[in-house]
Amino acid sequence: MNKIKIVGTEILSDNWYTLKKVTYEAIQKDGTMLLQHREAYDRGNGATILLYNKQRGSVILTQQFRIPTYINGNETGMLIECCAGLLDKDNPEDCIRRETEEETGYKITDVKKVFEAYMSPGSVTEILYFFVAEYNKDMKVSEGGGAHDEHENIEVLELPFAKAMDMIKTGEIKDAKTIMLLQYAEINGLML
């Protein structure tokens, strides 16, 4: 039995992505019906990847300006992250291959999906597909930096895996998807 019934949806903003106010009825544990209102931000689904090189003991990360972090206290607004992007109309694997080449300059073919997760389910509809892939210098086809027409200004970072793990402890890496993938690599022995 469905305990939720949507009774109304109002578009609050459709400027960049879509912000909706959803009104719904929810049956409580005691059987009473409660009318609730929540806002949900729909930006589409995405994919992210950790590129790793066992022989070098390194990972490829990116750094770019993120306005939400800046307005929430990140002095520079710069964030170190795993490569990621919105699916648009692609499936997750095609998306992450495209984003990897655009952002990092590496053309990868073999990707492994490791899990999927809602990143902020209290307010954002996005589900994120998480991947890992090995890289080597022969896969480098460009400098990366992001799609020119999207005005991305992405710096590509090749870091020792141990340093990236330490950067979580020092607070230099605060991005959830990146922390999750680095910890996945550690737990599953990808660098061994």
pLDDT digits (tens, 9 = 90+) for 144-189: 888 777 667 899 999 999 999 999 999 999 999 999 999 999 999 9
Buried/exposed 171-186: b ≥16 CB within 10 Å, e otherwise: eebebebbbbbbeebe
Name the stretches of the chain with pLDDT < 70: 1-2, 150-151
How far is residue 160's CA from residue 175's CA, in Å, rounded to a whole number? 18
Which residue from 10, 38, 41, 39 is spatially nearest to 26, judged by alpha carbons? 38
**Per-domain boundaries in the chain:** 4-42, 46-187
Domain range 46-187, CATH class = alpha beta
